[in-house]
Each structure stands twice: as structure tokens, then as C-alpha cells.
A and B are shown apart, each in its own frame.
Chain A
């Protein structure tokens, strides 16, 4: 078989079929060669509304038969200009705004922003507030991982997991409702502490939950860990080496599953994470299975942190004492003239932050969530930027999928756990 064309300005001469197999599909298509139907390239569009894309993510996938040979994510479908809008709000009005970015980790978004502003103000918050923040953030991590586990298992056909996970998730939302008044987007953290002390009975409810939750994790594991279908779908799928993940800036459970024990709660203990004893689960291979195991183990560790935080919960105020920055507690308004004046000033105008810029990073359920704030000395930030872990982690998706089957693409996306609200902001 001999063929001669002038593709790319040079002759492609194939003397034998053995040589033809060696050249790439693209070259062979350019060379007008007759390909078998399963060898032809097909570009398909996945999303933005495919249910398995975990949000409005669109993927342009080039397939050769069933094998993914290229992939491009296209996003921006839920971009709402939150960062721009923050520049038009006083600092404390930004808090409910940024919560709505990554809608599964709202306490983390709040902590990233509030912590960054506290760093700029050099404001230290009372120990009780730190502990309450930790309790709520770890409950939020459980909530986020439960939604991930339920939907990911659903993608792989495990329908019942979805209901089990959402049963426990609902209990966490009930706890949030009890302490903050809202199930999602609570605006519980403020610059200087938390909005209110936890109500009577909250601690008992959380303890009931944490004592029961490990047995629920056992149930999830009983359903999935030795499930033949689940094992076959996840084992050895979507492996990206640890070096490549670090180059791509990937953090969180994805990086830990590849064997890198990097967790900001341990490495750079913000709030009161230094007080607690917990482990960082790491994987070995970095496939879908390791990612699943890491997150499930993280849920156990989070439960331990919550219990320790409840045990050691210090007494005292939940708000810093600086009334120039912190909204005065409700009861002071009816007895103190100064509190009323400052409440009025803070609500109408807000506090001013001295000029400067700061970057503050925390460990969200998906990795390093960084917040950058530029202050120009006024009561509104001049720039708010969020380094969202989903946005950065999504770059590793191509490496996970290329060369594997299109069915594994769905599994890889599920184990990547991107939240499009956070990616698009």
C-alpha cells in the first residue's frame, strides 16, 4: 500500500501497513487515508447541562472510538461578577456575597474573606469564636463531602448512596439552621468573630450527630468499598502523578490522594486548628479510588475535630471587643447610646480598613481557598479576588482523561469534585 499526498507540505509515503499504524490519526486524516469507523476522530460536546457535569460545565471532547484524545473545558455559564460587585459593597456587606460563590462550602468562603480582612485590620478574635468557626467549617466539610459522595456514586450507578448521603446532609443543615437561622448561606461569621453564640441544646445535637456519624460512614463504606462495580470503575482510573499535580497547582484531596500530605490545617494552622489532634489521609496511587478513600477518611477526621472542639470549647465572648469594627450585640442597643451610634455608623457606612493588600488561604473541602483583598483606606474593598480551588483543579482534568475511555471521563469528573459556582464566581 503506497500513498503520497502533500499534507503539511511534505510527502507522506507509507510503504507498509505497519508504518501506517505508527502515524497519528490526525496525520492519517490529513493524508486522506481511509480509516476504520472506530479510528475516526469525533468531537462531541458534553454539557453545559449534562447532569453528570456537576453544574453548568461544558466539555469539548475529541474521541477516537471510545478513547478520549483531547478535551477542553469551557466555563463561565454561571459567572455573575461577584468579584466586581464586591468592590461596590462595604466590607461587611461582601460577606453574604462571597458565600454564594462555591455554594457547597459557604462557611469556607466566609472564613477566607473575613480572615483576610481581619489580617488587614490586625484584629484578633476571641478563642470561643475561633472554636465556633472550626465547628461550623468542619460540619460544612462533612456537608460538602456528603454531596460529593452522593452525586459521584450516583454517576456510577449507585442510586441509593444519594439518598443515604442526603439524609445525613439534611441533619447537618438542620444543625446550621439551629445555630445560625439559615440552612445555607448563613452569614454567620463576621469580621471580629461570629454573629451570635450557639443556642442552648446545639452542643447536644452536634454530639448526637458526631457520635452517630462514624457508623453512617461505615454504612457508606459497606455499600461502596467492596462493591465490584465501584472498584472496577475507579481503580487505576484517572491517575495523574504527584509532580504533575503540583505543577498544575492542584491542592486538596486530589493532591493528597496522590501521596502528598499537604493540608493547610496542619501546615499553617489558622484559627484554632493547632489545638486539635487529627490525621491527614493520603493515598498512594492517585486514582479515583484513592480520591474516594481520602475524602471518606477526611469525613472521619472532621468528625474527630468537631468532637474535640466541643470538648474544649472555651467560655467567653464570641465577638472581638473593638466596637469600631464589630457590630455591637443586639441587647446593647437598647441600653447603650454609644452602641446605638456605632451600630448605625457601621450599618450605613461600615468600617474603614487601612490601605494595603493581603492574601489569606485556608483549606476548603476542595483545596486551597485563597482570598486576596486590596484596601484603599475607604469602607469598600478596592479588589476582592478568590483563588478558587475548583477553578485551578479543573486544569488537571485533561491529564486525567486523555487516553482513557469516555465513560471514565464521567468518573474522573465526579472524583475531581468541581463546583461551578466557585469556578465561575
Chain B
């Protein structure tokens, strides 16, 4: 892990290379995280991968988080790993909820980091975050005709209708 001053240096250099790309940083319990705007995420990951001295080449994990009620609401996390130094760095794309029926969008990193393919589909499946440019953005674990984004915090637990033996005659379309 880069330490707290090291993280600030990375953030400053990134902002010099791509102005306005890093929105914030935090260093918490030994873990370093860069908070980034979603539109610059490809530039940031490419810079962290290709710049000598950084070389976070391995994308270990991509996952989504719903920070409700915080704003911006969603986060897409990219857990980067430098295998030579065994250093991990998290990049969080802070994604705002456009509201209504509209889905938030993030550029896909799938073409340059093929490991993101299944993982971006999983984030889409559970959070309804659209990865622009993903070659095959379909639901991956939920049924393909499923409606709703089940891992969002405002999606109810146990909301699935269950047909009990004593009510099966009243449930439409089930009995006769």
C-alpha cells in the first residue's frame, strides 16, 4: 500500500497529467484509495498501469457499492495491485444517480483490462450501472428477464412474492 503522503503524491501527479481527474483521496486502516470522476476512469487506470514507478498492472477486482444516502450515490471500485511491490491501491469512481428511470453510466475498461468483463456485468446486474462500450452488457447472475437492481440499498429484502399453499388459489395466474 502507498502510505498517506505517497498517496497524495500519486494524486498530485495524476492531477498534473489529467487535470481534475482525482476528486479526493483517503487513507484508512492501511488502505489507500483515490476517488475519481467516472469519466476519467480509463485515463487514471491507464496512467497507474503505464507510468514508470506506479505499474499497477493487475486489476484484482471490480465491484459496485451503493453509498445511499451519501452523494454521489454509487461507487465502482477498481482494486489495483502492483505484483512486484505487493502494493494495493483502490480507485473509486464516484457515480451520481441521475434519478428517475435513467441509469448511471461509467466508461467500460473491458477492452484494456479483459478481467473486467464478467465483473462489470455483475455490477450492471446488481446496481444498474451501465458500462459504456462493454461488448456484451447483459445480466450475469440474475435471470435475464428480472426487473430491478437488487443490490441497491433501497431495494427491499424479501420483496419476492411467495406462493403459499393456503394462498395459491388467490395468486393470479398460478392456480387454474
Contact = CB atoms under 8 A, between A and B. Distances in A.
A359 B90 contact: yes
B86 interface: yes
B83 interface: yes
B29 to A, nearest CB: 6
Interface in A157-196: none
Interface of A, secondary structure class, is mixed
Contacts of A424: 141
B157 A392 contact: no
Interface string A338-372: 00000000000000000011110100000010101
Contacts of A374: 65, 67
A370 B79 contact: yes
A382 B66 CA distance: 8
A382 B153 CA distance: 8
Contacts of B30: 119
Interface string B144-176: 000000110101010000000000000000000
Q: How big is chain A's contact interface, by range?
A: 35 or more
Contact of B31 (A84, A262, A358): A358
Contacts of A356: 28-29
Interface in A74-98: 75-76, 79, 81, 83-85, 87-88
B119 interface: yes
B119 A392 contact: yes
B117 interface: yes
Contacts, number: 95
Contacts of B114: 247-249, 395
A85 B142 contact: no
Contact of A359 (B31, B117, B122): B31
A425 B157 contact: no
Interface residues of B, number: 38
Nearest to A88: B157
Contact of B79 (A246, A268, A359): A359
B25 interface: no
Given A84-B150, A122-B29, A391-B118, A361 B60 contact: yes
Residue among B57, B61, B83, B113 having the largest count of chain A Cβ atoms under 10 Å = B61
A372 B77 contact: yes
A78 to B, nearest CB: 9
A387 B29 contact: no
B29 A83 contact: no
Interface string A34-52: 0000000000000000000
B60 A249 contact: yes
Contact of A84 (B77, B118, B157): B157
B81 to A, nearest CB: 9
Nearest to B59: A249
A119 B31 CA distance: 10
A385 interface: yes
Contact of A76 (B115, B140, B153): B140
Interface in A49-64: none
Interface string B64-83: 01110000000001010001
B118 A395 contact: yes
Given A76-B142, A392-B115, A370 B58 contact: no
Contact of A119 (B29, B126, B140): B29
A357 B88 CA distance: 14
A370 B140 contact: no
Contacts of A120: 29
A85 B151 CA distance: 10
B134 interface: no
A382 B68 CA distance: 10
B42 interface: no
A247 B29 contact: no
Contacts of B157: 84-85, 87-88
B66 A394 contact: no
B143 interface: yes
Given A122-B29, A370-B79, A387-B63, A247 B113 contact: yes
Interface string B24-49: 00001111010000000000000000
Given A83-B151, A395-B118, A387 B60 contact: yes
A268 B86 contact: yes
A368 B119 CA distance: 15
Contacts of A370: 60-61, 79
A359 B61 contact: yes
Given A249-B59, A370-B61, A372-B65, 17 more contacts: A75-B140, A75-B141, A79-B141, A247-B113, A249-B60, A249-B115, A268-B86, A358-B29, A359-B90, A370-B79, A372-B77, A387-B61, A391-B122, A392-B118, A395-B114, A395-B117, A424-B141
6 contacts: A76-B142, A79-B142, A87-B153, A249-B60, A357-B65, A358-B31
